[in-house]
Structures are given as C-alpha cells and as structure tokens.
Amino acid sequence: MMFPLLAQEAAKAFALNSAGMTMMVVSITSVLILTFFCLYRVMTLPPVEIDDMHAPQNIDTGDTKDVY
C-alpha cells in the first residue's frame, strides 16, 4: 500500500524545539517519578501478617475445586 504522505520538506518543520523538549521531559519525568515512588512504597510495605495472608495458605475458592 502506498502511504499518503505530505511533502517531505514538511519534515524539516518539526525539529524538536525547546518547548517540545520541555513538555516531553516534564511529562515523562513526572510519570516516571510517580511510578517509581508508588512501586517503591508498595515493595517496602511491611510484610502481611500471617493471618492476613491469602494464598496459597488459606485460599479457598470453593467454586474452583474442580480445576486441574
């Protein structure tokens, strides 16, 4: 399939400018900081108390007893 393209010269007009760089860096950095902060907090939470542990110790799904 021939792809519909606009004039190749238009490609020059899209050089990443400082505003674009700023938006990209700020967006990606914000998401990365939030993601790593959350994952770090989750990974460093105190271990689950033994009576709160779910699987495989006390899981009883009931309706899946016939599962292989």
Q: Does 50 bind another protein (CB under 8 A)?
A: no
- Binding pattern for the stretch 11-30 against another protein, x by CB under 8 A and - elsewhere: xx-xxxx-xxxxxx-xxx-x
Instruction: Give me the residue label for tokens 């990974």.
Output: 43
* Distance in Å, CB of 49 to another protein, minimum: 8
From residue 14, how far is each of 5, 9, 31 by CA, in Å? 15, 10, 25
Whole-angstrom Cα distance, residue 23 to residue 12?
Answer: 20
Amino acid at 24: M
Binding site for another protein (CB under 8 A): 1, 3-12, 14-17, 19-24, 26-28, 30-32, 34-35, 37-39, 41-43, 45, 48-49, 52, 54-56, 59-64, 66-67
